[in-house]
Amino acid sequence: MDVAHSGVLEVGIPVACRSCQARHGVVCGVLSSGQLKDLGRHSLRRKVDAGCEIIAQGSESSFYSNIMRGVVKLCKVMPDGRQQIVGLQFAPDFVGRPYVRESTLSAEAATDAEICVFPRNLIDRMISETPELQRSLHDQALKELDAAREWMLTLGRRTAEEKVASLLDLIATHAEPQTATSTAFDLPLSRAEIADFLGLTIETVSRQMTRLRKSRIIRIENFRHIVVPDMDELERMIGA
Amino acid sequence: MDVAHSGVLEVGIPVACRSCQARHGVVCGVLSSGQLKDLGRHSLRRKVDAGCEIIAQGSESSFYSNIMRGVVKLCKVMPDGRQQIVGLQFAPDFVGRPYVRESTLSAEAATDAEICVFPRNLIDRMISETPELQRSLHDQALKELDAAREWMLTLGRRTAEEKVASLLDLIATHAEPQTATSTAFDLPLSRAEIADFLGLTIETVSRQMTRLRKSRIIRIENFRHIVVPDMDELERMIGA
DNA sequence: GGGAAACTTTGATCTGGATCAAAGCGCGGT
DNA sequence: ACCGCGCTTTGATCCAGATCAAAGTTTCCC
């Protein structure tokens, strides 16, 4: 709020960073202004369309990314084509696997997105020199682990209807909070992607969505846009 | 191997640590001998029987643990009793959730086990003072995340038979390596626990085990003891 | 060392979600 | 504005795995 004060702090940081969604995120939020400047010089802001692959499964990537806008899906594919989405990442998350170059999963823009691409070895060096960054990435990794384990419960033990409700809850929670109990948002995923996230088929996802619609728990406008009049109601469907 | 050399390194470290499985693990392996001594003074070696709960879901724990021997299962339970095992930990893994006191899961000894219990705030202090420890725990967290995501694929997209094969492969991989291709091991989990890990019922687990036995991929001796004559054969069942 | 409880296997049947099939719907391109 | 393709919904049928039921093993407690 205080212009003079923020001026002092922001002096010398890259112009592109000043209004960046991820400026105070996991990586950039803990760097010194010198480091931020250094990183800014070597990073590349990139717009990617929905469907664009950022990291390929099985490939070695020499980059990490920060999500500035949009949603990224993390995906695993079996040789026979079966597919499972194993995580969603939202701005301002960090995308990449420190310490292991070869990726065991693909990262793909689920919506149109903007990402900030960092050279791997620069970040690696900063991690080893900056305990605050190490700690921050450790923290994100642990949060992702919590989320992954919560999702394992969903995949292993919830019914199709509970699964779909869980997904809507997850998206609603990450979309900006709306009024006290009601929420509206655009789904960042197609029905096929939802199916791959929930371990279901397209048809089952569609049927369960219309079930939720008919029981007035959600309204569906234009396939992608969802209104949840009462989040508590939705959460009651999840059964935990 | 060199007694004099190892003597120099090991001088002053706690007696109990000298032959400990976890001595060179994620935590103790990166501490200075001074820190190890300090930690040794404040830690408690404890034998726990199979089934003993180490951390309760929803509780606040003021301890972390190291597994010295045995297997620990990480478990989530829904209010209606449905249950999902979300991870297995083996010696010398670290058990606990840095940065968040309240546990979202329970940790329970799956077999008789020995653990080394550390006071939470001592470890927290060491983490903040020791980048090597931070890095080591970060690394374990990322490995657990990789494993969790791999298991999400198993839960969401594999058939019952593939799931059981995946579990046997997981256990076989963590049991000590045997001859080139063949392996034998004791299952650390009951059929009910296997079901809760795979998102199946006891009956389905049992049926798939006898299927694998009848197709000569495994031999079952005394329910818990499994022989895999050819690990490649088993891995072919997993379909990825 | 006997007996009971707990665990495991096996069998019969049922069902939630998959698969197969065919319309709706909406959007982008010409 | 129209056409065509891709996405979504809806319907009919099927089947992998759940549920219900019962018998066989093992462990271990007295």
Q: What confidence score (pLDDT) does residue B15 get?
A: 86
Residues A8 and A45 in one domain: yes
Tens of each residue's pLDDT in chain B, 240 residues = 444 444 455 667 888 888 898 899 999 999 999 999 999 999 999 999 999 999 999 999 999 999 999 999 999 999 999 999 999 999 999 999 999 999 999 999 999 999 999 999 999 999 999 999 999 999 999 999 999 999 999 999 999 999 999 999 999 999 765 666 788 999 999 999 999 999 999 999 999 999 999 999 999 998 899 999 999 999 999 986
Residues of chain A with pLDDT below 50 are 1-7
Residues B217 and B104 in one domain: no
Burial (Cβ within 10 Å: 0-12, 13-18, ≥19) of residue B49: exposed
Check if the beta carbon of residue B15 is closer than 8 Å to that of residue B45. no
- What residues make up the domain containing A84? 3-144
Q: Is residue B30 part of a domain?
A: yes
From residue A211, how far is each of A161, A220, B21, B191 by CA, in Å? Answer: 8, 11, 53, 35
Number of domains chain B is built from: 2
Q: What confidence score (pLDDT) does residue B3 get?
A: 44
Q: What confidence score (pLDDT) does residue B175 get?
A: 76
List the structure tokens of A50.
Answer: 């929905």
Residues A27 and A49 in one domain: yes
Q: Which long-range contacts (CB under 8 A, 24 or more apart) does B176-185 make?
A: B181/B229, B181/B230, B181/B231, B181/B232, B182/B227, B182/B228, B182/B229, B182/B230, B182/B231, B183/B227, B183/B228, B183/B231, B184/B225, B184/B226, B184/B227, B184/B228, B185/B225, B185/B226
Residues A183 and A92 in one domain: no
Residues A46 and A123 in one domain: yes
Tell me which of A109, A144, A179 is where a domain ends.
Answer: A144
Q: Is residue A149 part of a domain?
A: no
Q: Do A138 and B83 touch (CB under 8 A)?
A: no
Residues B56 and B128 in one domain: yes
Chain A residues within an 8 Å CB radius of B155: 152, 155-156, 199
A40 Cβ neighbours under 8 A, 6+ residues apart: A13, A14, A16, A17
Where does chain B show beta strands of DSSP type E? Answer: 44-48, 53-55, 63-69, 71-77, 83-90, 94-95, 106-109, 113-119, 183-186, 219-221, 225-228
Beta bridge partner(s), residue A94: A66
Q: What confidence score (pLDDT) does residue B238 get?
A: 94
**Domain at B116, CATH number:** 2.60.120.10
Q: Is residue B28 part of a domain?
A: yes
Side chain identity, residue B224: R
Tell me which of A80, A110, A144 is where a domain ends.
Answer: A144
Q: Is residue B219 part of a domain?
A: yes
Q: Is residue A180 part of a domain?
A: yes
Tell me which of B141, B167, B187 is where a domain ends.
Answer: B141
Residues A101 and A167 in one domain: no
List the structure tokens of B224.
Answer: 């818990």
Strand C, nucleotides covered by protein (CB < 7 Å): 7-12, 16-21, 26-27
From residue A52, how far is each of B14, B149, B152 by CA, in Å? Answer: 54, 21, 23
Chain A residues within an 8 Å CB radius of B198: 156
* Nearest Cβ partner for B148 among A128, A145, A196: A145
**Domain at A229, CATH number:** 1.10.10.10
Q: What confidence score (pLDDT) does residue B11 get?
A: 67
Q: What confidence score (pLDDT) does residue B6 get?
A: 45
Please write down the HEC assignment for all residues of chain A.
Answer: CCHHHHHHHHCCCCHHHHCCCCCCCCCHHHCCHHHHHHHHHHCEEEEECCCCEEECCCCECCEEEEEEECEEEEEEECCCCCEEEEEEEECCCEECCCCCCECCCEEEECCCEEEEEEEHHHHHHHHHHCHHHHHHHHHHHHHHHHHHHHHHHHHHHCCHHHHHHHHHHHHHHHCCCCCCCCEEEECCCCHHHHHHHHCCCHHHHHHHHHHHHHCCCCEEECCCEEEECCHHHHHHHHCC
From residue A12, how far is each of A66, B220, B226 by CA, in Å? Answer: 21, 68, 64
Residues B128 and B188 in one domain: no
Q: Is residue B124 part of a domain?
A: yes
Q: Is residue A170 part of a domain?
A: yes
Interface of A with B (CB under 8 A): 74, 76, 78-80, 82-84, 86-87, 97-100, 104-105, 128, 131, 134-135, 137-139, 141-142, 144-146, 148-153, 155-158, 196, 198-199, 239-240
Residues B127 and B177 in one domain: no
Give the pLDDT confidence of A180-204 residue by residue, as tens digits.
Answer: 678 899 999 999 999 999 999 999 9
Residues B108 and B20 in one domain: yes
Beta bridge partner(s), residue B66: B94, B116
DSSP class of residue B5?
Answer: H
Q: What confidence score (pLDDT) does residue A182 get?
A: 82
Q: Is residue A192 part of a domain?
A: yes
Residues B134 and B193 in one domain: no
Residues A105 and A224 in one domain: no
Give the pLDDT confidence of A25-47 residue by residue, as tens digits.
Answer: 999 999 999 999 999 999 999 99
d(CA A221, CA B111): 52
Strand D, nucleotides covered by protein (CB < 7 Å): 7-12, 16-21, 26-27
